[in-house]
Structure 1
Amino acid sequence: MGDEAIRNPKSGYVAIIGKPNVGKSTLMNALVGERLSIVTPKPQTTRGRVLGIMSSGECQAVFWDTPGMLEPKGRLQEVMTRQIRDSVRDADVLLALVDASSPKDDLDERMREILHDWQRPLIVAINKSDLVETARVEKIVGRIRAVAISALRGTHVDALKTLIEQRLPEGPFFYPPDMVAEQPERFFVGELVREEIFLKLGQELPYATAVKVEEFKERKDEKDYIRAVIYVERPSQKGIVIGAKGAMLKQIGQHARVKIEAFLDRPVYLELWVKVRPKWRKRERDLKEFGYW
């Protein structure tokens, strides 16, 4: 069904905000029905605004999965914080996510600052409600007037979709109804490689890495060719990413290729390289090159 066939369309931008590791990416994937945002156990996996589109009947919600809210330290985190502010400024609906399993289950100071002057529709969702006792969830819900969900299990996600649709402003669709993402394929390829880096490497090293897809060739009679470069800040980090006799890089590549093929629904040949770019997180030029600016 095209936009011209919709009699009373509603559409709007929805910014998903919350502290690191609260489940924002998992929630957006659940709402859209596609795995667009990478998900790892480490906080601050999302570095930029990932856009996902949910179209249902006469409603279209365009989601921004934003980086986790924290006190910025360094140029990269300053850019990430600015992306959160931009998303909030441009949103028609704000979806604030709180972690029910966190010892501090309330809205933190930064979220309160954002919500203080917010005049447009607001939804507060309590995620990971399946991990704690019902009485605790009810206490949180009663205190901050929220809806309890489990993004991972899909519990009450449909009810949340309905709340979002009810709060969208009237207006034509921004995108075709069958479109779920705006970013090009090579963006998601780079993100899937980065996801494997976060899953395979130690606690701090992944934060010093960036992935750039430098070549993406669709080939008619053979596998698509993808060449991606993993950038690190120090030679010692390069050695860790490559591993003994290339074992770690091979493992990252193998697992990333499986995910990329599932995402693209076609076979690919993935070639990974590792290069050193000193202090790239502090340099505006490098942040722009890697798509974070």
Structure 2
Amino acid sequence: MSNQHLDNEKFKSGFISIIGRPNVGKSTFLNRVIGQKIAIMSDKPQTTRNKVQGVLTTNDSQMIFIDTPGIHKPKHKLGDFMMKIAMNSLKEIDMILFMINAEEGYGRGDEFILEKLHGVTTPVILVINKIDLIQPDTLLTIIDQYREKYNFAEIIPISALEGNNVDRLLETLKSYLPAGPQYYPADQVTDHPERFIVSELIREKALHLTREEIPHSIAVVIEKMSRRKDQDIIDIMAAIVVERDSQKGIVIGKQGSMLKEIGKRSRVDIENLLGSKVYLELWVKVQKDWRNKAFHLRDFGFTEDDY
């Protein structure tokens, strides 16, 4: 931890939890604010499985963002686990960003979240995302509708994708931050180890390329990650885990074409992240029904002990 600002009473810092229904744009927002890709993006709901912390440091403040899995009614053990993370993230933080998708409007999922927020004493800021996709009149209706449902500290419309109004949101967040220390070095943008982000980048490409054919039954396990001696090359060996043999065939593709494409696209992002050349070897293995088996969830990095 840097001591640079510990004696400076004007320095402000705090932990900000981003919550919302699945697929409202939380990861897009986090990546824009931090300025590089640390959270994976997909148009499939429930893409984010673990807390991802993004750290934004300026000369007078540090905001630590916690991106949670979308809050939803769980359907399996992995769902229970994701829900537990999301609700636990509301404890011991300084602010809550409740993000909604302007295009979807108010729904039962939002009702479920607002019920959970009642009794929370932390300031809750409503962020209406994806305003680039709606008419201005619709926005006013949405603001009025949500204002009736909950006493939000602030209501701020943004487009995380286009960047509209994001600076205003950050200024508002800063005004709510308490005085505090710099928790992380100024150049650190996440608390996740590189291995985790590498596995997430591979998972993102696999989800994106297999589209509707593969549901969320993909996990990625990094088996080996090491730098070659005296060379600027990192060797990465990773297994893409699916639940059924039929899914394995889809991920591998005709004559290995799908797996090759996943590898090619992943390598570009991983090289950008690590700043080195990467040799990436991927293979696919089947673990039947892994999302409902606690020992598999542990193997793939989903551990309740952390939360």
Query: Shorter-normalised TM-score: what interval?
Result: over 0.9
1:285 matches 2:287 = no
Per-residue displacement from partner, 1:90-144 (whole Å, max 9, x unpaired)?
3210000011111436972221112211111111110011110011112222443
Q: 2:231 aligns with which of 221, 232, 236?
A: 221
Give the aligned partner of residue 243 of structure 1.
Answer: 253
Give the 3-state SS of the residue equivalent to 1:203 in structure 2.
helix
Q: Which aligned pairs between 1:27-176 and structure 2 lie closer than 5 A?
A: 27-104=29-106, 108-145=110-147, 146-176=155-185
1:209 matches 2:218 = yes
Give the 3-state SS of the residue equivalent to 1:88 in structure 2.
coil
Deviation for aligned residue 1:257:
0.7
TM superposition score normalised by structure 1: 0.95
Distance in 1 between residues matched to 2:251 and 2:23, nearest whole Å: 24
Give the aligned partner of residue 272 of structure 2.
Answer: 262
Which region of structure 1 is more displaced relative to structure 2, 265-274 or 213-222? 213-222
Distance in 2 between residues matched to 1:127 and 1:184, nearest whole Å: 29
Alignment check: 8 A CA contact 1:125 1:148 kept? yes
**RMSD after superposition:** 1.7
Distance in 2 between residues matched to 1:104 and 1:222, nearest whole Å: 50
Give the 3-state SS of the residue equivalent to 1:96 in structure 2.
strand
Distance in 2 between residues matched to 1:83 and 1:162, nearest whole Å: 27
Alignment check: 8 A CA contact 1:98 1:105 kept? no
Per-residue displacement from partner, 1:1-43 (whole Å, max 9, x unpaired)?
9334744222111110001110010111122222110111111
Give the 3-state SS of the residue equivalent to 1:225 in structure 2.
strand
Give the aligned partner of residue 192 of structure 2.
Answer: 183
**AA aligned opposite 2:42:** T
**AA aligned opposite 1:215:** K
Distance in 2 between residues matched to 1:33 and 1:164, nearest whole Å: 17
Deviation for aligned residue 1:245:
1.0
Q: 1:129 to 1:276 in 2, by over 3 A?
A: same
Distance in 2 between residues matched to 1:177 and 1:107, nearest whole Å: 37
Give structure 2 stretches of 5+ with no counterpart. Answer: 148-154
Distance in 2 between residues matched to 1:153 and 1:5, nearest whole Å: 37
**AA aligned opposite 2:185:** P
Distance in 2 between residues matched to 1:48 and 1:14, nearest whole Å: 16
Alignment check: 8 A CA contact 1:3 1:176 kept? no
Distance in 1 between residues matched to 2:37 and 2:107, nearest whole Å: 27
Distance in 2 between residues matched to 1:107 and 1:162, nearest whole Å: 28
**AA aligned opposite 1:117:** G
Distance in 1 between residues matched to 2:106 and 2:248, nearest whole Å: 37
**AA aligned opposite 2:258:** M
Distance in 2 between residues matched to 1:167 and 1:286, nearest whole Å: 41
**AA aligned opposite 1:274:** V
Give the 3-state SS of the residue equivalent to 1:216 in structure 2.
strand
**AA aligned opposite 1:170:** A
Deviation for aligned residue 1:204:
5.4
Which region of structure 1 is more displaced relative to structure 2, 107-116 or 92-101? 107-116
Deviation for aligned residue 1:270:
0.4
**AA aligned opposite 2:272:** A
TM superposition score normalised by structure 2: 0.91
The alignment covers a number of residue pairs equal to: 293
Deviation for aligned residue 1:209:
1.1
Give the 3-state SS of the residue equivalent to 1:208 in structure 2.
coil
**AA aligned opposite 2:176:** R
**AA aligned opposite 1:205:** I
**AA aligned opposite 2:36:** E
Distance in 2 between residues matched to 1:86 and 1:103, nearest whole Å: 26
